Amino acid sequence: MARLVFSGALVFGKGEGARFTRTDWVREAFQDLVDIDPWPGTLNLRVSEKRSLAVWHEIKKLPGLILRAPDSAWCDGRCYPAVIQGLSCAIVVPEVESYAPDQVEIIAAVSIRETLGLGDGDLIEVEVTT
Is 16 among the domain residues? no
Into how many domains does the chain fold? Answer: 1
Question: What's the CA angle centered on 61, arms 59 and 65, to 5 degrees?
Answer: 75
Is 94 among the domain residues? yes
Could you give the CA distance from residue 98 to residue 28 in angstroms, rounded to a whole number? Answer: 26
What pTM was estimated for this model as a whole? 0.91
Is 47 among the domain residues? yes
Is 9 among the domain residues? no
CATH code for position 32: 2.40.30.30
On the question of pLDDT at 15 being above 70, the answer is: no
Per-residue confidence at 9, pLDDT binned at 50, 70, 90? Answer: very high
On the question of pLDDT at 75 being above 90, the answer is: no
Is 123 among the domain residues? no
Domain that holds residue 38: 23-117
Is 128 among the domain residues? no
